[in-house]
Amino acid sequence: GADRFYDVVEDMIGYRPNPWMRVSWSIITPILCVACFVFSLVKYTPLTYNKTYLYPDWAQGLGWAMALSSMLCIPGFFIVQVLLSEGPLVK
């Protein structure tokens, strides 16, 4: 995961990046992304046009489905790989 990515970045740029970058890639960035997503769900208000027209539920549902379709690919692929792999999860 992060260690291999760190090694590949070293190969590309010719020197070892600051260890802070590995911490940022593997811990800080995922936490911030999840926090932004959760806060957007908490502060969610239905979409309106000119503060008068409220879009129908099916249109808002379609928008959410389109947005989530790209976000759910990574966890979905992970789940499929875990279910199809043989042996223990941690090797």
Q: Tell me the pLDDT tens digit for each residue of 34-73.
A: 999 899 889 988 889 998 999 999 999 999 899 889 889 9
What integer pLDDT is reported at residue 19 of this predicted model? Answer: 86
Question: For residues 13 and 87, which has the higher predicted lDDT (pLDDT)?
Answer: 13
Q: Compute the distance between CA of residue 91 and CA of residue 83 in angstroms, rounded to an integer.
A: 15
DSSP-H helix ranges across the chain: 2-13, 19-23, 29-42, 57-71, 73-84
The three-class DSSP label of residue 60 is helix
